[in-house]
Structure 1
Amino acid sequence: MLAHVPERNQSASLRRALAVLEHVREHSGLSLTQLAEAVGLPKSTVLRLAAPLVEARLLDRDRRTGAYRLGHGTLRLGQSYLATLDLRAVAAEESHRLMTEVRDTRHTIVDPERLRADLAHTMRRGYAVDDRENEPEVRCVAAPIFNHHDAVAAAISVSGLTSRITAARVRELGPLVAGAAVRISRKLGSQCQ
């Protein structure tokens, strides 16, 4: 039968265990004595707090030296966290803030119908063109890079002043940039054409 532990004590223990974990994250390779001194707790308390962290593979203790370091369970937690991130959701607020601070140029496509038509054209040709939409004197040609799930993972681009990247030059650069993106994508395991 488990003894009832007051909630306040459980919270304090959890906070101390998290402090131990955080300290090991920042200062890997500490012995029990060093870790206890660093977090200001008795060695017996640190040992008691570290035990479930070691069991959960959040901490690892070297059998030879006794030094603590992060365990592979922290990697699994981190990967699980990253897998739940949605780039659009994470970037939406900052993108909107940046847009309002920067104010786009007179060339920026703001009409929804025109934007949809431009996106359809971009998909057909395999590359996108920023024609002075972000900076009045800059053109950019970009293409998506796909990962092994055939999901967009990154992009590659060429940018320059409009005096160097003319409209005619854009038509030359577009296929070159798109080709580089396809080759990179294939190296990442994509089946893209």
Structure 2
Amino acid sequence: MSTAHDEVPPGTQTLARGLAVIRAVADGAHGLRAIVEYTGLGRSSTHRLAQLLVNQDFLRHDNRGYTLGPALIELGFKALHGNPLPLVARPVLEELSAAVLDTVHLAVEDGGSVLYLDKLSGSRGAEMRSRIGYRMPLTRAGVGKALLLDAADRWTEQYTADEDQLPVAARNGDPEGFRTRMQEYARAGAAMDLEDNEPGIRCVAAPIRDASRAIVGAVSVSATTPYMPHERMRGLVPVVRRAAGRISASLGYQGT
């Protein structure tokens, strides 16, 4: 459960509570009771804030309960287009998708997790749960591992933090094994998801760099296991790296 009572600057408590209500709805709390439980706010305060947000089009309310409103959709598109990466990457992603026939993702790190900025679904195999705006643990997703390739000092700590957020049955509990994998991926300049994130799904991912040589995003090719034997995954490494390199060059990166 989140809370709206964390430390906030003086005079901004109402804003913080309103944002907490929006976050609750975004995370699946569609009824008033669920929003109250998520935020820790009083029922009457939550109802007043929700009504205000509905009036301002930040939320909608119908027989399904509360959902995100058109104002947030508009702001989301503006935020997306304010970032040059999706616009620069899109032509390369389309070419890559047409060449491999599998699902292609573009992602960045945001707040210690993977944030998907674009997705082109493949023409074969099962549909994946990822979507634009979806978040995943960094150490479970292929793109997340690619985003961490330069950050050896974070590998163990991030792995442990991500594992702590998962149900006990889903934890791997092998930080040393993860570090060994990341060392191999860093040498190869590409990372792999060996069904770490979603059963039956594998992927190959490579980092995108900007003019400062910093990793600012990652691109991946994902498919169901029958279409992703280990031999094909190895063969996709240079393909995905080239795609990431083309996007990096468009951002001013001049390395090899």
TM-score normalised per structure 2:
0.36
The structure that is strand-richer by fraction is: 2
Of the two, which has the highest radius of gyration?
Answer: 1
The structure that is helix-richer by fraction is: 1
Higher-RCO chain (CA-CA 8 Å, sequence separation at least 6): 2
